[in-house]
Amino acid sequence: MLNRLFIVLIFSLPIVVFGQKIEILCNTDKQFISKFEFDENDFKYSKINNVSYLNFNENTPLTLTEYGAPILPFFAKSILIPNTGSSLLKISYENFVEFNDLEILPNKQRKKRDTVNNSELFFSDIYNRNEFYPGDIVKLETPYRIRELRGQVIKFYPYQYNPVTKTLRFYKNIKVEIDFTNSTGLNEVYIKESTSNFGHAIYASQHINHSTKIEKYLMKQDEGEMLIISPISHIENVKPLLNWKNQKGIKTTLVTTSTTGKSSDSIKKFIKQYNDSNPNLLHVLLIGDNNDIPPFYYGNVNSPDGIYDVWSDSYYGQLTDDYYPELFIGRFSGTPEQVKNSVNRTLAYEKSNDSDNWVTNAINIGSSEGSLFGDNNEADWQHLRNIKYKLDSIGFSKIYEFYDGTRGGNDDPGNPSSSMISSALNNGVGILNYTGHGDDNILYTSSFTSNDIMNLSNFNNLPFVISVACNNGRFINRTCLAETFMTAQIDNKDIGAIAVCASSILMDWAPPMKTQDEIINLIDDRNLTTHKSTLGGLFWNGQFSMLEKYGNNGIEVMKTWIFFGDPSIVYRYKPNEKITADIKYNIVDSTINITSNVEQAIVGISNENKYITSGHITNNNFNCKISSTEMNDSLLITITKQNYSPIQYYLKTNNKVNTYLLPETPTSVFPNPFDKYITIIGNRPDEIILYDILGNKISTTINFIQENKIEINTENLKSGYYILQIKVNQNIHNIKITKDINN
């Protein structure tokens, strides 16, 4: 039963391309009526074989993509619709203008990234029809569901073209009437709304008519509970991650495949049933390779590029009859030892107190191909150059550009080499964008391979890798580039990446570029209504944007782009700041009061690694009541926030609060860069080892000044990079440090 429906339809296309004026005439739970006035577009032409073709690709981000059909603009955006029923559409328009004797460029064939561009034009049978294409001026797509919300894409085609008469029509002042009826509709919603409503804000940028709830749930926009599914053989290696997630305030459950079953159908059935009982579920982490937990097999596809198998992890998060996943799916793929490596790097990344600025560095690697094929008509390198400008505006400090050919800017002349990529990675980067050709174990632009990953020295400076390439994520019955990125180590020190988005098949050319663009947009915290903090939130919301734009042409990308890593990881893109907090426990009424300088930091309260409750610092304060059965001897209080170093406290029953140093993280290592001494303050380490950048041990003098203070004499060390390895309670933390390399 729908209590009330609010619909406000706003299009997010650049005003410089198309202007639009929207007037809402009726907005109820029974009917929506609005007028849309679109500005005419400036015509741009491309001359091919001495013929001037009108080419809307030159200045329009959304165009029809049917092979051989005229390239024409359209508009698309999702609206919220009632949970049940159907939508009936009626349209009218004020008038139209006509433009005569126009040739319009046809679309080129949809390409996979294993093919090479060609410039041949193909004119489909549409050019022989004496009728206006595409025919529909306004069209409603099939309703879809995302968690407890039901949406529908509305598309406008104000330009219509008759290729026989060479007439182009432009329709003005289009009036849309949508009646919501009680007749049975598609993808109706009958599920219980999640108690936290966190799902509403997750998809706020998907349904902009949902703005009434954005502010209330803004800081929970990609928070939710977590389910880990693992074979029994991996359990012990996964438990440290389970414990940490419960500590930091993500209620997390670990189940084995002996409970879920080992087939994709049984696992999907278990996830759906679990979600019904736990409506706050958002993250699902699959443990193991395809022999442990198989990706779903959609069968094989016979295409102009050949026959290929379609393997999907997103299938496990698609709980309704559409391709918009309700759950964010990630995978730690590999052997038990490799999964242990993935777990350890995740813990080190999230628990780090690293305040170095390596996270503000980025790498863009792109091919010279894609012009007229890529998203927004961009070649791969142009697409990444525009991403560079966006990263610049967000505050990234150094952006390496490695493009085929000579493209100016930060791109060196000629083609990049694998050694150039390795050097940039070893210096430390927070994100790596690749757009080009690829295969199981190679990025063809630069020829960077899995072997190069195994020889990196970017210890704990691990980037988020977004690969728009073929087969980088094809992990079925083989080891792929993404898996190597996620499991590589040298001398027990993690190298490679913190998470990788990579395709399990031959990848489409243009649609994934839209996802890559949207991920960068969502990183930007200047727009808090769309900002996402977790890697899963960034990737899957980017995929929603892609599917909205490309429709059926984006389904395969949604199916087959695999997220390797923990989707609940909070992405770091600024040097960590410090959290301070004051904790008081009232013994009389068993209430906890926390004051903190960091607004909207997340407070997690646990007992012996079991989740008790969580919440946010609001107006610098957090309060909760704890029962005596939950308290026992003590509670662990964990406070975290994106781009802040986490802190933990033990709260004892005697009302004594003790700072608890995170096992993998010493309290402080300074200065960095250093000169004559390195100082370590924190729990007394079991062992301290200094390595050079090649992994060789360095002999040093260690002085224990106090119980919690240590100094290392580094006066005789040469300028350069080093790795300081600190072992505390059998846990290892590797810190990249620098000796005064500018002097």
**Domain boundaries along the sequence of the chain:** 20-213, 225-564, 577-660, 668-739
34 CB contacts (<8 Å, ≥6 apart)? 9, 22, 23, 24, 25, 26, 175, 176
- Phi, psi angles (nearest 5°) of residue 353: -110, 20
Q: Which residue has the tokens 């696992």?
A: 267
- Mean pLDDT calculated for residue range 529-551: 89
Tell me the residue type at 613: T
Distance from the first to the final alpha carbon of the chain: 70
Confidence of residue 192 (pLDDT cuts 50, 70, 90): low
Question: Pick the residue with more confidence: 304 or 739?
Answer: 739
Tell me the pLDDT tens digit for each residue of 631-671.
Answer: 666 789 999 999 999 999 888 766 566 655 554 444 567 78
Question: Pick the residue with more confidence: 303 or 189?
Answer: 189
pLDDT over 60 at 17, yes or no:
no
pLDDT over 70 at 18, yes or no:
no
Output the 3-class SS for 606-663: EECCEEEEEEECECCEEEEECCHHHHCCEEEEEEECCCEECEEEEEECCCCEEEECCC
Find out whether 568 and 245 touch, Cβ atoms under 8 Å. Answer: yes
Largest CA distance in the chain: 89
- Mean pLDDT calculated for residue range 131-137: 94
Alpha-carbon span 742 to 721, nearest angstrom? 12
Tell me the pLDDT tens digit for each residue of 366-419.
Answer: 999 988 778 888 999 999 999 999 999 999 999 999 999 999 999 999 999 999
> Count of alpha carbons within 13 Å of 287, Cβ hemisphere only?
28
CATH fold of 668-739: Immunoglobulin-like (2.60.40)
The pLDDT of residue 14: 27
Alpha-carbon span 120 to 49, nearest angstrom? 10
Confidence of residue 202 (pLDDT cuts 50, 70, 90): very low
Tell me the pLDDT tens digit for each residue of 441-489.
Answer: 999 999 999 999 999 999 989 999 999 999 999 999 999 999 999 999 9
Specify the pairing of strand 657-660 against strand 581-586.
unpaired
Instruction: Decide if 225-564 and 577-660 have a common fold.
Output: no
- Phi, psi angles (nearest 5°) of residue 268: -60, -40
Q: What does the chain come to in residues?
A: 743
Confidence of residue 10 (pLDDT cuts 50, 70, 90): very low
**Of 87, 76, 70, which Cα lies nearest the Cα of 36?**
76
- Calculate the average pLDDT of the chain: 85
Top mean pLDDT of 520-534, 600-614, 721-735 is at 600-614
- Residue 562 has which token pair? 């695999």
Torsion angle (degrees, nearest 10) of CA 111, 115, 116, 122 = -40
The pLDDT of residue 266: 98
Tell me the pLDDT tens digit for each residue of 259-313.
Answer: 999 999 999 999 999 999 999 999 999 999 999 999 999 998 876 666 789 999 9
Q: What is the CATH number of domain 20-213?
A: 2.60.40.3800
**E-assigned strands of 493-568?**
493-494, 499-503, 561-564
Alpha-carbon span 580 to 391, nearest angstrom? 30
Question: Pick the residue with more confidence: 270 or 175?
Answer: 270
DSSP three-state, residue 711:
strand
- Mean pLDDT calculated for residue range 25-32: 78
Confidence of residue 117 (pLDDT cuts 50, 70, 90): low
- Residue 414 has which token pair? 């000629």
pLDDT over 60 at 742, yes or no:
no
CATH architecture of 577-660: Sandwich (2.60)
**Of 586, 584, 626, 581, which Cα lies nearest the Cα of 605?**
626
DSSP 18: -
Question: Pick the residue with more confidence: 195 or 37?
Answer: 37
The pLDDT of residue 637: 93
pLDDT over 70 at 19, yes or no:
no
The pLDDT of residue 346: 97
Specify the pairing of strand 493-494 against strand 610-616.
unpaired
Alpha-carbon span 388 to 606, nearest angstrom? 41
pLDDT over 90 at 239, yes or no:
yes
DSSP 125-157: GGGG-SS-BS--SEEEPPPEEETTEEEEEEEE-
The pLDDT of residue 304: 60
Q: What is the CATH number of domain 225-564?
A: 3.40.50.1460
Q: Measuring CA to CA, how many Å separate 246 from each of 58, 189, 254, 614? A: 50, 30, 11, 10
Out of 135-144, 204-213, 548-557, 579-588, pick the least confident.
204-213
The pLDDT of residue 628: 67
The pLDDT of residue 20: 59
- Mean pLDDT calculated for residue range 571-581: 94
